[in-house]
Amino acid sequence: MIRYYWGRFWPFLLFAFGIEAVENLFTVFFEYRNMDFGLLPLLKTAYVFVTEFAVTMCYWLIPYAVYLWILPRGKAGGKADRWLTSAWFFLFVLANLFEDVAEAFFWNEFEASFNFIAVDYLVYTKEVIGNIYESYPIIPILGGILAASVLAAWGMKRFLLPRNGAVPAGWKRGCVVLFLLACVTGGYWLVDIKDADAVNNRYNSEMAKDGLYSLFSAFLKNELDYRAYYRTLPDAEAAAFLAREFTADDTSVPEASSGSVKRQVRPSEGAIRPNVVVVVMESMGAEFLNECREDGADVTPCLSRLGKEGIFFPNTYATGTRSVRGLEAISTSLPPLPGMSILRQEGNEHLQTIGSIFRDKGYDLKWIYGGYGYFDNMNYFFGNNGFQVLDRNSMADSEVTHSTIWGVCDEDLFRRAVREADESCGRGKPFLQVVFTTSNHRPYTYPEGRIDIPSHTGRMGAVKYADYAVGAFVEEARTKPWFDNTLFVFVGDHGAGSAGKQALNPETHRIFSIFYAPALLKPERRDTPVSQIDVLPTLLGLLNWPYDAAFYGKDALKPSYQSRYFVSNYQYIGYLKGKDMVVLKPQRGVEFFRDGEAVEPDGRMKELEREAVYYYQHASGWRTSLKE
């Protein structure tokens, strides 16, 4: 029986192992500077790779084993058997080649094996397939995969059926099926994608993962209950700590004894009621700012000028690596919890958000997005939290001069924002707009002739065009009667990348935020690191508005402000003060870093760990704390 099944299975095993090995060799070639080639890390990497590969192959072989089980013994090795086996091998090769090529493109974008991002993207096939089609020569690539699969199936056809060896009895073939089922069942419970983290070097860890195994693991584990998987402390301690954190200057937390951290903000100075336009900029990391560029390139002249003329926070830190994380932080002032953003979760309606605060002040609320807002559930979230939803579906073709699968170009988006501002102003209504851009995204195309970098040549062109569009937006707004009474906020949603040697790399989360209102605000620069969740309380502080809300951010312009910020990558959630970082992990794990290096915890680190737990544990009850 062993000879029979080995003869049937070895071509599948050999081919799959071969293409995985080739893929990993290419990864090593391109990432060798970032990898750890010590004996123990390499052994751990190999162990994870072999384990996940074995479990994945069991899944692949089960359908073929079932076929061999029901195949009559007299038909084994016949013409029909040969054709069906060749067809299954062809599909097997095609699927594996497609997966490896897709993972190579994914690695090129995220420097990681398939993860939650890939799962999210599978839900939105129109945008993702469109983006791939516009960014890569997809037809030749798919043609190459198909041709290679045909050649592989043709070349291996004489090896797919054993030349000798008796066909086992039916009950023995059934036992093989049961054995494979037992293997995948055991693998589900015993082989966890987190085993790769034992390698410690993130590049080794990501390379060790089998793409398909990683993808399905992410699909099954894309939301985590904080209290079930992460460290906890007494709830009363968390509420008491946060009450102390938030009680300063004009802010108090009167109900902390009941577990609530709803703050009462009561400014002593008079409130102002300007219009507010919050522009969330796609992938606009601080590394693109002129002042951060080592090559001296003039890529962001407009944003640089606005930073000098407004209140500029060049060291703002995004909470995550996806747009929905940035929108979550800016609209709810909530730390990044493990798993999906609350924009994608159930129960996210009627929350205390930027919308509820402005709605209660009589403002016109508009969510303006150049793409299709069903993506990442954005329209649902903003629509069910007080905003009028205006996305690509609400734009006439005559309004669009350039678009990609992700949405209209930033100029078209900003023209719509100006038109909506005119409409609100014409009705005598103050307005809040949350405007989300898309141009700084693959395929990096934009209208020709705007900047000195041709369209579709790479990220720098998209960044410079996005900057140009912001400048054109401000200049057009300057001609409007509502301009002098409008406060603009420009903030990145996340950085351009998240890769690094650790699971969390704070330097890749650095963005910026600018509060710009030349008739209302005096220019100021604050180099203190601030969190993206501080943007909303800082905005409300500039308006001197009294309000009650269970926000977790702080007004970064207050004398009492002390820097701390949050970063995350789905399962890992970090908390930083200065050069110290605590990372909370599933299974109640925790890691400590100082200056980017792993360290053993001292007294300061243990205190930082407690603070991190207090913040994240309390925030995990957002469905209760943020409800209106």
- Whether the CB-CB separation of 242 and 449 falls below 8 Å is answered with no
Rounded distance, CA 212 to CA 209, Å?
A: 9
Strand partners, 432: 276, 365
Strand partners, 121: none
Rounded distance, CA 73 to CA 86, Å?
A: 18
Instruction: Report residue 626 as tokens.
Output: 């943020």
- Whether the CB-CB separation of 626 and 347 falls below 8 Å is answered with no
Compute how many other C-beta atoms are within 10 angstroms of the C-beta atom of residue 326: 29
What does R_g of the chain's alpha carbons equal in angstroms? 27
Strand partners, 276: 432, 487
Backbone angles phi, psi at 277, to 5 degrees: -125, 115
List residues with catalytic annotation.
323
Task: For helices 39-70 and 170-190, give the axis angle rounded to 10 degrees.
Answer: 140
Q: How far is CA 16 from CA 94, 212, 268, 554, in A?
A: 11, 12, 69, 52
Helix, strand or coil, per DSSP, at residue 591? strand
Compute how many other C-beta atoms are within 10 angstroms of the C-beta atom of residue 519: 10
- Whether the CB-CB separation of 335 and 567 falls below 8 Å is answered with no
DSSP 258: G
**Four-residue CA torsion sign, 543, 544, 546, 551:** positive
Instruction: Report residue 580 as tokens.
Output: 């110290």
Whether residue 412 is annotated as binding a ligand: the answer is no
Tokens 């006439």, residue? 396
Whether residue 298 is annotated as binding a ligand: the answer is no
Helix, strand or coil, per DSSP, at residue 78? coil
Q: Can you count the helices (H) and strands (E) in the chain?
A: 20, 19
Whether residue 282 is annotated as binding a ligand: the answer is yes
Rounded distance, CA 138 to CA 442, Å?
A: 14
- Whether the CB-CB separation of 266 and 493 falls below 8 Å is answered with no
Q: Which residues contribute to the annotated binding site for substrate?
A: 441
Q: Which residues contribute to the annotated binding site for Mn(2+)?
A: 282, 493-494
Q: Which residues contribute to the annotated binding site?
A: 282, 441, 493-494
